Structure 1
Amino acid sequence: MSTDFQREGLEFAQKCFDDVRAMSLDSQGVSRQGYSEVETQVLEYFRKIGEELSLEISEDKAGNVWMTVPGKNRDLPALVSGSHADSVPQGGNFDGLAGIVAALCVARWMRKTNYQPERDFTVLMMRMEESSWFGKCYVGSLGMTGQLTDKDLALKHRTSGKTLAETIKACGFDPDALTTGKPVVDLSKMAAFIELHIEQGPTLDSSDTLRAGIVTGIRGNVRHKNIRCVGQTAHSGAVDKQFRHDAVLAFAELAYRMDCLWDEWLKAGHDLVFTIGVVHTAATSAIAVVPGEVTFCVDIRSLSQETLDGFHAVLVKEAEEVAKKRGVKFEFDGLISSKPLAIHQALREHLSKAAAEAGLKTKELPSGAGHDTVTFGGLGIPAAMIFVANQNGSHNPHEAMKTEDFMQGSEVLWHAVKDFPHEGFK
């Protein structure tokens, strides 16, 4: 049964989603590159709403936007909620955007009902969470917290070749200010961070009654963007099998071995997902040519750092064995990694109580995808997440979400904010 909060916010939320979709349409889905004109346009759209709600608005040196409902006791650190404004190329409209709109729904409800929270409530809109454009995730939140590096800034755009530093600078911000190792905001003024997000998987949507979830942990990952298998190019009709060094078959054997080992690790109780998302043969490949080169990427994710490190070691070992057997060579590029995050237990329990007070049944589940929540939680700031059911997966143009489901998740956030304890969480 919907509540006044859900009914009153439904039209507002739907308009936000429709308006942002319209301003970021691509030939398929939406494209909102971090630190682009489109992402800036989206942030300006929400700033105007914030101005209409008389929120206190500021922008940090990383370009993230903070919009605050002042609390009764301004000496207390703020409760912060929000997400990222960008998207993957030709992706879905709700990844990231849902978290911004949910936090704004809560701020709007406070104004509509003349409710003043005990402490400041802040809507945080972050830039460039997605790694799809430059191969680096959480750029806005890492920049804010002083955790970007010169190596990060040297990364190049997936198509244009423009560096991340050049992109940030073109957007009007100083990239060098984000690599000092020091936060550009006072993190002691954050009591906690709560992020609402679409699930990006089918678990919640497979249930008729559990349309919102409480996240138990966020999987970390280890990745290789470009592993090269080098064999020997040869004539497909003139070279018999025993003389071949076929890069495609070597890659295929490695992929099959890893898939079988993945099954074994799952049976042993490990939390683990393994993906090979991109595979290419050389530009000179042809139907009459034994392939001499294959490049591919690897993405390993788990709630356990030990599992991540262990399965990656297995990948390297298996590659060595296949290389020896088939007379090829596997060349690994640099490792990209993100640590798992165990969600703050007390804050997670607080979200569960908030859902119960709202009369909503929720499901506890892990997050297979990474989120800005990892940045804050990794620095010791109490951080937790609310998931909302969505359809057709995520990171694709067919991503969908029922606004009624979204409002249920938003109501969990409202109750969590309203009942946030004076003493906070440690």
Structure 2
Amino acid sequence: MREACRIEAEGLAYAERIFNTVRDMSKDGPGVTRQGYGPVESRVLDYLEGLGRELDLEIEKDPAGNVWMTLPGADRTLPAFVAGSHADSVPEGGNFDGLAGIVAALTVLWWMRRTNFTPKRDVRALLLRCEESSFFGKAYVGSLGMMGRLTEADLQLKHRTTGETLEAAMRSQGVDPSALVTGRPVVDTLKIAAFVELHIEQGPMLDRDPEVRTAVVTGIRGNIRHKRVVCRGETAHSGALDRIYRHDAVMATARLLSRMEDRWTEWNEAGKDLVFTTGVLTTAPTAAISVIPGETAFTIDMRSLSTEVLEDFHALLLEEAKRIEAERGVRFEFDNALRTAPAVVDAALSDRLVESARHAGVPAMRLASGAGHDTAVLANAGIPVAMIFIANQNGSHNPHEAMKLEDFMAGTAVLWNTIKRFDE
């Protein structure tokens, strides 16, 4: 068994206290709920700011409401090393998705104060708002806003249950979004030398390995999404209409999704990186057991490290839909596709993480990220980025999400060693 670094042993209680406090602040049934640009997310950020003040950090908020905490370096003319993640969660989700990256950054800053370590350059913790798309259907709102890349249409997106617009939610938490839709960053990206996000893996690869519990991310999949696809057929009596006369929306939808799964299998076997998901599928409110369904509504989420693969598979989806329309006498209506470009991590910075893991005695593999992260937004803005994955249990985006603190502290040790050695 490897010997833990000092920060792992001595920082564990500090990190655990933050996790427990934030869980208590945001507990919702069996899980936690921290809506982006909601009051619970704001209260959590206020608490975390308080921890920053205890460490005598410089604290500021950017116009998107993201929180920056800075430990000054010896040469303040140099661009800063930044680490962090997002503070929000999905509804009744897990406590560690996003929060782990914030706690890792704060624990490193706590350790630097505890050991009287002065870095050559500023080290900053970045606490991002509203990364999850669960409430308003838009991911990375805080980071996109920071880069000035939100749109007026984004601001009019409505909350999944209340109907409140994203703009109204932002304004309710003291954020004026007018500067976030200009196409120009509201922060100086040239003052960021590197951004590193520690995150739970959200998948099973690391947790399957008893020894290698940490990974350095090779890239972040982009996605093409449809929030609403409608298949329109014709309702009819289930007992009075033979198969050849039916325009069954459920069967047409099932055929489309089945065909796309077959194509997905073929593309994976050909070595193409791709995942494909329909997370929501409903019939019309008037559906009944004795009625041939005349309408379905469903979602599409496809992800890949390759933009070309995404666009080609999306085109194939539309082609298959046309074929099934002709075969079954139905009509598919697709809303506007939402696109997020894949992100390439900085090779040199990733290599630094690997070397820092080796120096800390932390076994690490390289692993692609299937989930999206704010890191992708920063990467596509030209900032050198990298990610540390740590093992977690029971997946993510669910109330049963789990994480072993010793795995978290090993990842934090990698972050600390990267910062400590960054200017050597």
TM-score by length of 1: 0.98
- AA of the residue aligned to 2:112: M
Q: Which residue of 1 aligns with 2:284?
A: 282
- AA of the residue aligned to 1:161: G
Q: Which residue of 1 aligns with 2:86?
A: 84
Q: Which residue of 1 aligns with 2:202?
A: 200
- AA of the residue aligned to 1:83: S
- AA of the residue aligned to 1:323: E
Relative to structure 2, which stretch is displaced further, 169-178 or 225-234?
169-178
After TM superposition, give the deviation of residue 179 of structure 1 in Å.
1.1
CA–CA distance in structure 2, aligned partners of residues 192 and 274 of structure 1: 32
- AA of the residue aligned to 1:291: P
Q: Which residue of 1 aligns with 2:188?
A: 186
Residues 360-399 of structure 1 mapped to structure 2, 5 A cutoff: 360-399=362-401
CA–CA distance in structure 1, aligned partners of residues 268 and 85 of structure 2: 32
Partner SS, residue 137 of structure 1: coil
After TM superposition, give the deviation of residue 28 of structure 1 in Å.
3.0
**In the alignment, structure 1 residue 99 sits paired with structure 2 residue 101:** yes
CA–CA distance in structure 1, aligned partners of residues 73 and 286 of structure 2: 64
- AA of the residue aligned to 1:191: A
**RMSD value, Cα:** 0.7
CA–CA distance in structure 2, aligned partners of residues 305 and 113 of structure 1: 45
Q: Which residue of 2 aligns with 1:49?
A: 51
Partner SS, residue 266 of structure 1: helix
After TM superposition, give the deviation of residue 421 of structure 1 in Å.
2.9
Q: Which residue of 2 aligns with 1:410?
A: 412
Residues 148-159 of structure 1 mapped to structure 2, 5 A cutoff: 148-159=150-161
Residues 3-18 of structure 1 mapped to structure 2, 5 A cutoff: 3-18=5-20
Output one character per residue of 1:158-199: Cα deviation in whole Å (capped at 9) or x when no partner: 111110111101111111121122211111111110000000
CA–CA distance in structure 2, aligned partners of residues 129 and 386 of structure 1: 18
- AA of the residue aligned to 2:360: A
CA–CA distance in structure 1, aligned partners of residues 188 and 220 of structure 2: 25
CA–CA distance in structure 2, aligned partners of residues 166 and 49 of structure 1: 29
Q: Which residue of 2 aligns with 1:320?
A: 322
- AA of the residue aligned to 2:262: C
Picking from 243, 248, 251, the partner of 1:249 is 251
Partner SS, residue 28 of structure 2: coil
State whether residues 120 and 423 of structure 2, in contact with CA within 8 Å, keep that contact through their aligned partners in structure 1: no
CA–CA distance in structure 2, aligned partners of residues 357 and 314 of structure 1: 47
Q: Which residue of 1 aligns with 2:360?
A: 358
Q: Which residue of 2 aligns with 1:116?
A: 118
CA–CA distance in structure 1, aligned partners of residues 109 and 69 of structure 2: 9
Q: Which residue of 2 aligns with 1:297?
A: 299
After TM superposition, give the deviation of residue 121 of structure 1 in Å.
0.2
TM-score by length of 2: 0.99
Give every structure 1 segment of 4 or more consecutive aligned residues whose post-TM-superposition deviation is greater than 6 Å.
none
Residues 333-352 of structure 1 mapped to structure 2, 5 A cutoff: 333-352=335-354
Residues 60-75 of structure 1 mapped to structure 2, 5 A cutoff: 60-75=62-77
After TM superposition, give the deviation of residue 203 of structure 1 in Å.
0.3
After TM superposition, give the deviation of residue 238 of structure 1 in Å.
0.7
Partner SS, residue 352 of structure 1: helix
After TM superposition, give the deviation of residue 36 of structure 1 in Å.
1.1
Picking from 163, 169, 176, the partner of 1:167 is 169
After TM superposition, give the deviation of residue 3 of structure 1 in Å.
1.8
CA–CA distance in structure 1, aligned partners of residues 301 and 355 of structure 2: 35
Q: What runs of 5+ residues in structure 2 fail to find an aligned partner?
A: none
- The alignment-based identity, stated in percent, is 58
CA–CA distance in structure 2, aligned partners of residues 102 and 47 of structure 1: 15
CA–CA distance in structure 2, aligned partners of residues 46 and 331 of structure 1: 45
CA–CA distance in structure 1, aligned partners of residues 199 and 234 of structure 2: 47
CA–CA distance in structure 1, aligned partners of residues 354 and 160 of structure 2: 40
After TM superposition, give the deviation of residue 124 of structure 1 in Å.
0.5
How many equivalent pairs are there? 422
